[in-house]
Structure 1
Amino acid sequence: MLDKADFKFIFDNHFEEVRRYIFYRCGDEETASDLAQEVFMRVWEKRTKLTLDYIKPLLYKIAGDCVVSDYRKKTVQIGFAQNMKLESENISPQDQLQYEELKQQYAKALEQLSESQRTTFLMSRNDELKYNEIAERLNISVKAVEKRITETLRVLRSKLL
């Protein structure tokens, strides 16, 4: 089991070499720093199960896994972006016009909502907050958040459909 002093020792003695290893694998300094931090976050999370005996190989194993995971994630993001670009090139002027009209109707419908409904809805949809996070920020119950969102969706459906 690692304590804070052990973790500090590991971090101080191995962070730079882990970061250099990741940089060698990915070629981006910013990504290397982020992934090195991720490696040490994982070690911290698993500190109760670890000992100092085989920590260096473990750091490199986690670092390698993080690089592969990051590569896969970026590959998916690039593929998605390219797919969206191709789809956006094939949009007809009529579809574009319909989209703009719908966007205007949506904006008008949002303006007609009460301030509390609009705030709650936008926190949920735009900020991607969970209901309990919204409730905490607005100092209301989770049930109140659910009720506001349900009512907002009902109003938006009726106005947009």
Structure 2
Amino acid sequence: MTQEEFKILFDKHFDSIRNYIFYRSGNEELATDIAQESFMKIWEKDLIYNEKPIKSLLYKISNDIFISKYRREKVELKYLTKLEPSVNNHSPEKQLQYKELKDTYESALANLSEKQRVVFLMSRNEGLKYQEIADRLELSVKAVEKRMSHALSYLRNALGK
């Protein structure tokens, strides 16, 4: 496809592709980005100019990009809601208790020795097994167990449990 043919295609169909995505997403900026990305993919494919099949392909590509972005956004949102428990639907007392507990936990975590904190966070945040932690830190599994035991004991005491 020549530059002239591509320009004609772009001028003729850009607004309709953008509107199609805008109607699906309700986000004008996202719709513009996806429409531009779709045209870039068509340009990169260096197809023989035939308007009807290329127009259909543009809609297909833009739809696929939109679905991909939507799924990625859904995964990100799910991760973020897991990361920070929602306290908005709780009473002010519960929110205050949560904040105080979180502050106490963060303070206690900061007071752990660096070695204990690293082992604890690798286990809890990354979900690593003791053997995996030992391999990464080049320690014995017993050393990891000992650090974890001390960290858990300290945190239990600090959190009053």
Task: Using structure 2 for the length normalisation, give the TM-score.
Answer: 0.54
Kindly provide the amino acid, as one letter, of the partner of residue 52 in structure 1: N
Taking structure 1 as reference, are residues 25 and 94 closer, same or farther at Cα in structure 2, changes over 3 Å only? same
Kindly provide the amino acid, as one letter, of the partner of residue 105 in structure 2: D
* Aligned residue in 2 for 1:61: 60
1:77-96 map, 5 Å? 77-86=76-85, 92-96=102-106
* Aligned residue in 2 for 1:72: 71
Kindly provide the amino acid, as one letter, of the partner of residue 50 in structure 2: L
Taking structure 1 as reference, are residues 96 and 33 closer, same or farther at Cα in structure 2, changes over 3 Å only? same
* Aligned residue in 2 for 1:46: 45
Secondary structure of 1:86's aligned partner: coil
Q: Deviations over 1:26-76 (max 9, x none)?
A: 1111111111111111112212x4432411111111111111111101101
* Aligned residue in 1 for 2:150: none
Taking structure 1 as reference, are residues 98 and 58 closer, same or farther at Cα in structure 2, changes over 3 Å only? same
Q: CA RMSD in A?
A: 2.8
Query: Which residues of structure 1 form unaligned runs of 5+?
Result: 106-161
Taking structure 1 as reference, are residues 8 and 96 closer, same or farther at Cα in structure 2, changes over 3 Å only? same
Q: 1-side partners of 2:74 and 2:43: how far apart?
A: 28
Taking structure 1 as reference, are residues 96 and 43 closer, same or farther at Cα in structure 2, changes over 3 Å only? same
Further displaced range: 88-97 or 55-64: 88-97
Taking structure 1 as reference, are residues 8 and 98 closer, same or farther at Cα in structure 2, changes over 3 Å only? farther
* Aligned residue in 2 for 1:127: none
The structure with more radius of gyration: 2
Offset of residue 95 of structure 1 = 3.5
Secondary structure of 1:95's aligned partner: helix
Task: Using structure 1 for the length normalisation, give the TM-score.
Answer: 0.54
1:138-157 map, 5 Å? none
> In percent, how many aligned pairs have the same letter?
38
Secondary structure of 1:71's aligned partner: helix
* Aligned residue in 2 for 1:18: 17
Query: Which residues of structure 2 form unaligned runs of 5+?
Result: 88-97, 115-161
